[in-house]
Chain A
Amino acid sequence: MTLWLLIWFLYYQKKRKEEFSELLKEEIGKTALEREKFEMIINSISEGLYVLDKDGRFVYFNQAAEQLLGLTAEKVLGRMDCEIINCRDDQDNKLCYPGNCPLSLSWKESKTKFYPVLYFNRADGAVFPVSLMVSPVMGRSGPAIGVFLFRDITRELEIDRAKSSFISVASHQMRTPLNALRWILEMIINGELGKVNPKQKDFISDAYESTIGLTKLINDLLGVSRVDAGKFKLKKEPVDIKKLFDQVVFELSYLTRARNVTVENQINDCPPVVADSEWIKQVITNLTDNAIKYNRPKGNVLISNQIKGAQVVFTIADTGIGIPVDQQNKIFEKFYRAENAIALQTGGTGLGLYIVKPIIEAAGGKIWFKSALNQGTTFYFTLPLAKI
């Protein structure tokens, strides 16, 4: 009896072992298939993908990474990040594990980090621009791996540079003849090129104002094209905002005289704010230009500032025609002009305020206004104080 039991037990164990073996083979087969699928997917993407372990060593390197960097996975796996990739930012600072490496920063913040422009080098030493996304993967006891996804953005930067160059050249080519025309007309009006009778002066003044309008249109169109094209990288640096206001008031003095409006600039003792001086000057110009243009004869424009916490609030108040209540919600739309503004025939473009809002918001500020028909308009915008 015991013998039969023993034989049955051994037979059962053998069967179990065979079944288990089959199951194991099946699972290994499935895993291999899944891995093959995974490899096919990862190697089908055009972006370079590599993985670093918690010591900064390569543990995975896809085919696109091999092609983009001119390296094989074989040469890279097990080696340190900085031995292979000379990653630099746009200030030419080297980003190396662990120090200021994107992976260290993403582990520290436990979130994916995106770098729009960095520079990598190929195996042959050639440097090329990339955009990089780094995703940290945390294990039970802390950082486990980091997944790097990058792509070559050489072409995109070339297109950006071409757009910027076109904007610069177009603006110069349009402005130059306009300048000559404007200055000649100015000299004629002032009697510097001989006497003009009142009727001639009147018509020439109209021509002069047309050149001013055309100049503003060109400035606004170029501003809009830069905003729309995303050429809108605001610098964030301390700016002497009083100097910008003084410059704008000076540059608009021809308009102040023409409209018979008084501009009172009460910007005083304003500490530096964080802004991009070129773009913020455009904001100040557009708001002040509107305040003068849509004013009544012998009207006033008051420019002032107030510090509120970590922000400075700037105010540009006019005694002009105001904005009808039912049209106020459209005032920042592209090409929109309120009906009473159109009726005034100032030659406005409807672009000035369209540009102003995204600039202020990108600078970390806010813009708003109060207005009532025939009772003037007050625009407010904020900018952050520069930390000293």
Chain B
Amino acid sequence: MRAPAHRHVDPVFAALGDPTRRRVVEALSRGGTATASGLAAQLPISRQAVAKHLAALRGAELVSSKRVGRETHYRLRPQPLTEAAHWIQMVGAEWDDRLEALRRTLEKGRR
């Protein structure tokens, strides 16, 4: 089964991929800074799963982290998302134009 058409999905969300990861980002966006435990308390996933998503998000430079005492505090960095969203939006628009031109050229002369 094909993936659903992404044409009408806001590119910011298209950039986030995994739905659980989106929820982690959403929770982070609500609260300023958070710990893995604090995020896990807000979400129906384990602290371990949250930690894995935070590691991936940190690898993608979507979150920054800081040790405060024995805890690590995470904060959202929206810039990479914005850049990815921009790429997705631009490239998507280019392909919309080209596919429309393809359609016109193939359907030329019909009817």
Q: Do A and B interact? A: no
List residues of A whose CB falls within 8 A of some B CB.
none
